[in-house]
Structure 1
Amino acid sequence: MHKASLRKLYRAKRQALSEADWQQRCAAIQERLLAFLTTQFEPEDGFTLHTYLPIRRQREVDTYSIIAELRQRYPKLRALISRSHSDGSMRHVSWSDDVTLTDNQWGIPEPADTNHPEVNSHDIDVVLVPLLIFDKQGHRVGYGKGYYDRFLATCRPDVLAIGLSFFEPIEAISDKTPLDVPIHVCFTPFRNWYFFNHL
């Protein structure tokens, strides 16, 4: 299927989830992600993780809960979030208690001010990547703006790009482009999907 059709289909599938089902799927995805990260990092490791913040109306996976739990397990964790700019770029800053959030034009929570020091994308070890659906080759369908593909292209070659999906993958996305950056791992409520051949 083409990306446009997949966006429409999986947006509808998300909206059709009951609140209880949404919460259960979020919890299952979080458990799988945290178990995986414990195989990659020791509790004393100070790694840098970039996360998206969920768009409420899109019913995305709850990353607030994920980061709260990671901060408990990894006291030296540096969590980053971004502001999106009209030129298609993203500016990354540390997410701390003094960062005030506001929704941008797409309903994405972002830092409200621009006074926080920018963090270079080369300093990032892990990226939680938003998606609507993915395929069995590790390609994903996002919201069509291309922000995360451009962002991931600026990261180190060994950055770990992780997708979080409520649904199992489709066989293949039919209109991939050379600019699409695949993910390395994706967690669903039911299974872990690994695409390490992309590393």
Structure 2
Amino acid sequence: MHTQSSVTKEIRSKVRNIRRELPHEQRLKAEHGIYQQIKKHPKVSSAKHIAIFLSFDGELNTKPIIEYFWQQKKSIFIPIIHPFNNDHMFFLRYDEQTELTRNRFGILQPKLDVRNIIPYKKLDIIFTPLVAFDERNYRIGMGRGYYDRLLAGYQQTDIYPIGLAFTCQKISYIPNQPWDVQLPEIINA
């Protein structure tokens, strides 16, 4: 008998491999489609403070999106794992001069500087990474629950979370737990 967590681990492993093996031309075409959707998105156009992740493990390349946001004079923030509480993350301002370091998972993040922290409730949009998603906009992340904890109760704030993914990451159904956050939108191509 499969437990829910073993099913989730199976999905995570399978979809990460599919994402990593996405042919280069197909990846570029999908990324272009996603970038175009972001550029035309009314909530993105009006946003001032945007959180977005730095790509890792075959995720959508966020560098062109970040550069577009800088051109649009938007303030960009990148998640970092809390140095004293490994179950939480917060966001630091990110610009062309920001020094990056690798966290314990090997993911690039800004070097900690408390002057660059933004209270997450001041963010307008949080672009969330994901491994897999379904029709209902439930997502499977990397398994640590950072975004589910962060976004719990986001409906009581002005934050608008948006998932970013390739269409090949979509599956029919994700078995969700009560603490899993259903995103209002997932942009994919």
TM-score of the aligned structures, taking structure 2 as reference length: 0.86
> What are the equivalent positions in structure 2 for 1:22-33 lying under 5 Å apart?
22-33=27-38
Per-residue deviation at 1:92? Answer: 1.3
Residue-by-residue CA offset, 1:17-37 (whole Å, 9 max, x unaligned)? 12222222212111112212x
| Aligned residue number for residue 76 of structure 2 | 79
Query: Cα 1:25–1:187, aligned 2, differ >3 Å: closer, same or farther?
Result: same
Residue-by-residue CA offset, 1:30-57 (whole Å, 9 max, x unaligned)? 1112212xx2355xx56111011111xx
Name the aligned partner's letter for residue 161 of structure 2.
Answer: A
Name the aligned partner's letter for residue 187 of structure 2.
Answer: F
Residue-by-residue CA offset, 1:118-142 (whole Å, 9 max, x unaligned)? 2101101101000011111110010
Distance 2:65 2:44 in 1: 15
* 2:163 is aligned with 1:187: no
Q: Which secondary structure does the structure 2 equivalent of 1:93 belong to?
A: strand
Give the % identical residues: 25
Distance 2:20 2:54 in 1: 18
Q: Which secondary structure does the structure 2 equivalent of 1:62 belong to?
A: coil
| Aligned residue number for residue 16 of structure 1 | 21
| Aligned residue number for residue 157 of structure 1 | 157
Name the aligned partner's letter for residue 9 of structure 1.
Answer: K
Structure 2: 5+ residue stretches without partners = none
Structure 1: 5+ residue stretches without partners = 190-199
Structure 1 segments, 4+ long, off by >6 Å, are none
The question of whether the paired residues in 1 share the 8 Å contact of 2:53 and 2:128 is answered with yes
The question of whether the paired residues in 2 share the 8 Å contact of 1:29 and 1:187 is answered with yes
| Aligned residue number for residue 39 of structure 2 | 34
| Aligned residue number for residue 197 of structure 1 | none
Query: Cα 1:109–1:41, aligned 2, differ >3 Å: closer, same or farther?
Result: closer
Distance 1:87 1:128 in 2: 21
| Aligned residue number for residue 96 of structure 1 | 95
Distance 2:54 2:44 in 1: 22
Further displaced range: 119-128 or 18-27: 18-27
Name the aligned partner's letter for residue 54 of structure 1.
Answer: S
* Aligned residue pair count: 180
Distance 1:143 1:64 in 2: 20
Q: Which secondary structure does the structure 2 equivalent of 1:161 belong to?
A: strand
Per-residue deviation at 1:164? Answer: 1.1
Name the aligned partner's letter for residue 158 of structure 1.
Answer: D
| Aligned residue number for residue 47 of structure 1 | 48
Residue-by-residue CA offset, 1:68-124 (whole Å, 9 max, x unaligned)? 11222x22x111112103431112111123320112121211112334332101101
Per-residue deviation at 1:153? Answer: 2.2
Distance 2:11 2:118 in 1: 33
* 2:168 is aligned with 1:171: no
